[in-house]
Chain A
Amino acid sequence: MSGATLAVAGAAAGYRALVLRRVALLALLTVLLIASLLLDVATGPSRLGLADVARVLLNPASASGPVSVIVWDVRLPYAVMAVLVGAALALAGAEMQTVLNNPLASPFTLGVSSAASLGAALAIVLGVGLPWVPQEWLLSGNAFLFAFLSVLLLRSLSRLRGAGVEALVLFGIALVFAFNAAVALLQFVATEQALQQLVFWSMGSLARATWPKIGILALALAVAIPFTARAAWKLTALRLGEERALSFGIDANRLRDGALLRVSLLSAVSVAFVGTIGFIGLVGPHAARLMVGEDHRFFLPAAALCGALLLSLSSVASKMLVPGLMVPVGIVTALVGVPVFVALVFTRGRRS
C-alpha cells in the first residue's frame, strides 16, 4: 500500500472513530443527566432518602400522603423543570451563537431575559397584562410576551437598511440596557412589597415549577426540536461563513429567521416560568463545543444535554449551599457554572 492510500485508510478509520466518540460523549452526558436528575429528586430539606423516593415513584399507591406530596408535587416538578429549562436555554443559546456568528450571544446577553423582566415588572408593579389571561398566569404571560416580542424586535431592527449580523448583536446589547432602565424605573416607583416580589422573581427560581408549566415547556421543546434537527446540516455549513453558505444553496436569512423564532419560543417560555437564569444559555453551548465540536448533529444535542445537566446540578447545589434553605437557582447557576466552565477551558487548553 502506498503512503497516500495508507493516509486515506487512516483518515477513514479516524473519522469513524471521531463520530463514534461523539456519540459516546452524548450517551455519557445522558447518563450523567439521569444520575443528576435522580440525585435532585433524592435531596431536599425534608430528608427523604433515595429509597423512600424510589418507593414512591415506583409504587405511588404505597406512600403515605405527605411523602407522596413531597415527591410528586415538589421535588419531581423542580427536578424535571431544571432539566427542561436547562435544555431549552442552552439549545436556544447554541442556535443563537451559530446564526449570529457570535460566541457571546445568548438569550441572556441579547435582551430576552431583560425583556421578560420588564413584562414581569409591568404585571407586578402596575398590574398591567393581557386582558384575557387569568390572574395566576398574568406574570408568566407578560414575561413570555415581552421576551418573544424582544426577539422579533431584534430581527426587524436588523432588517432595517440591511444591517448585518454584527448590528443585530449590538442591537441586542442596546435592548438589554433599554429594558433594564425601564425595569429600574418601575422599581423606583414600586411599593415595597411589589419591589420585593420583583427582585425575587428576577433571581430565577425553580420553586415556580408546576406540572402544567412543565407540560407547556415540554411542548415548546417538542415543537422546536424537529425543526432544529432539520436545520442541523445547514447550521454546520453556515459556520464556514455566510457567503460560502449562500454558495452551498443555503438561504442564510431564512435559516436565521427560523432559528431566532425557535430561540424566542424556547427562551421566552423558560424565562416566563422560572425567571431570569443567566449563564446556562451561554455556557451550555460552549461546553458542548469544547466536547464535540461544531458538527451540529452532535453540537445541538450536546448543548441541550450540557445545559440540562448544569441546571440540574445547580438545583442540587441550591439545596445544599445553605443547610435548610433553598437558594434561588438563578444565583447558583453562575456559582456552579463558572468553575465547571473554567475547568473545561483549561483542560482543553492543556490538551492542544
Chain B
Amino acid sequence: MRLEVERLTLGYGRRTILAEASLEPLPGGAITALIGPNGAGKSTLLRGLAGLLPARGSVRLDGEEMAGQSLERRARSIAYMPQSLPQGVALTVMEALVGALKASPTAEGMPSARAAAERALALLERLGIAELALVGLDRLSGGQRQLAGLAQALVRRPRVLLLDEPTSALDLRHQLGVMRLVRELTLQHGLVTVLVVHDLALAARFADRVVMIGEGRVRAQGTPEETLTPAMLAEVYGVSARVERCSHGHLQVLADAPL
C-alpha cells in the first residue's frame, strides 16, 4: 500500500487553495500528519486526497491513478472523515454506522443488514462507546459526535484513512485513546493514514511523518524531528518557539510569542 501525490493543484472555482503539492510517497502502516496555520490548505489537501475536489496533478494509490475511478470504486479503498457531522439528523449512532456501511459496497463486498449491525457494534466497543449505540446523533456531546463520525469512517475498513481533525473536540483521555486506536489500526492493517491536526504535540508523538503547509504550499516534510524546528515554526506559523524533549523523550513544541 502506497499513496503518491505529485504536483497536485486544488481549489474551489477559480480560486487556487493549494498549488503544486508533491509529497514523498506515503507508505502503508504509517501515519502522516498535515499541520499548518489556519487557512493554509490542510483540509483542502485532505479533501483532494479523498477525490472530493476537482484537481490537477496526480494522486496514485498503488500506482493506480485515483482521478479516473468512480466514486464507488474509490470508496472501497478510501475513507474520509470531515470535521463535523450535520445537525438535526434523526439517526442513532448505530443507524448511522449501518447506513455508512450499506451506502455502497466496501472492499469486502456489501454486508447484509445483520452483518453490518454486528460490525458496527464491534467497532463501537473498540472505540469504547458501545453505550452510545442507541443514542441519537443530536443528543451527543461535541466529543461524542466526533467519535461517532470517526466510527463512520472506520466502519468501512478502508485501506486509506483520511481524518480531518479527529481529536479537536476530545478530552485528553479520549485524544490519546483515539490516536492510539488509529495507530493500532494503521499498523495492524497497513493503512495509509493521513490526518489534519492542530496539536503539534500530538503530531510529534503519533505521526511517523509530518507535512507542514503554509499559504497554499508544502513548506516542509519529513519526520517530526526534521519538520518541527524553531526555524520552520517561525517561518510558517509566525511564532518564536522551542522544540524540546520532555523527560519521557517525546518531542514537545513550546510556543513562546507571536513574531
Contact = CB atoms under 8 A, between A and B. Distances in A.
Contacts of A251: 71-72
B75 interface: yes
Contacts of A12: 117-118, 121
B52 interface: yes
Contacts of B85: 240-241, 244
B86 A240 contact: yes
Given A241-B85, A248-B75, A236 B134 contact: no
Interface string A165-208: 00000000000000000000000000000000000000000000
Interface stretch (A42-50, A83-91, A287-295): A287-295
A4 interface: yes
Contacts of A347: none
Nearest to A12: B121
Contacts of A295: 91, 95, 98-99
A258 to B, nearest CB: 15
Interface in B120-153: 121-122, 124-125, 128, 130-131, 133-134, 136, 139, 149, 152-153
Contacts of A325: none
B79 interface: yes
Interface string B86-115: 101111101110111011110000000000
A18 interface: yes
Contact of B82 (A18, A239, A244, A293): A244
Contact of B95 (A8, A101, A236, A243): A236
Contacts of B121: 8, 11-12, 15
Contacts of A289: 90
A248 B100 contact: yes
Contacts of A7: 125, 130-131
A94 B139 CA distance: 23
Q: What interface size band does chain A fall in? A: 35 or more
Contacts of A234: 103-104
Contacts of A227: none
A247 interface: yes
Given A15-B121, A243-B52, A293-B92, A249 B104 contact: yes
B156 interface: yes
A343 interface: no
Given A240-B152, A244-B80, A247-B80, A11 B124 contact: yes
A237 B100 contact: yes
B183 interface: no
A352 B90 CA distance: 13
B150 to A, nearest CB: 12
B209 interface: no
Given A240-B86, A244-B82, A244-B152, A4 B95 contact: no
B78 interface: yes
A103 interface: yes
B133 A11 contact: yes
* Dominant secondary structure of chain A at its interface with chain B: helix
B50 interface: yes
A241 B86 contact: yes
A293 B139 CA distance: 13
Contacts of A14: 133-134
B74 interface: yes
| Most interface-central of B81, B86, B124 (chain A CB within 10 A) | B86
Contacts of A233: 99, 102-103
A240 B90 CA distance: 10
A294 B91 contact: yes
A4 B130 CA distance: 7
Given A240-B91, A243-B82, 20 more contacts: A4-B130, A5-B125, A7-B125, A11-B94, A11-B131, A103-B88, A233-B102, A234-B103, A240-B85, A244-B85, A246-B71, A247-B78, A248-B100, A248-B104, A249-B73, A250-B71, A250-B75, A294-B89, A294-B91, A352-B139
Interface of A: 4-5, 7-8, 10-12, 14-15, 18, 101, 103, 162, 233-234, 236-237, 239-241, 243-251, 289-290, 293-295, 352
Nearest first, the 9 closest Cβ-Cβ pairs linking A and B are A249-B75, A249-B104, A237-B103, A11-B133, A236-B99, A247-B80, A248-B103, A249-B72, A7-B130
Interface of B: 13, 47, 50, 52, 70-76, 78-82, 84-86, 88-92, 94-96, 98-100, 102-105, 117-118, 121-122, 124-125, 128, 130-131, 133-134, 136, 139, 149, 152-153, 156
20 contacts: A7-B125, A7-B130, A7-B131, A8-B124, A11-B124, A11-B131, A12-B118, A12-B121, A15-B117, A236-B91, A241-B82, A244-B152, A246-B71, A247-B50, A247-B153, A248-B104, A248-B156, A250-B103, A289-B90, A293-B91
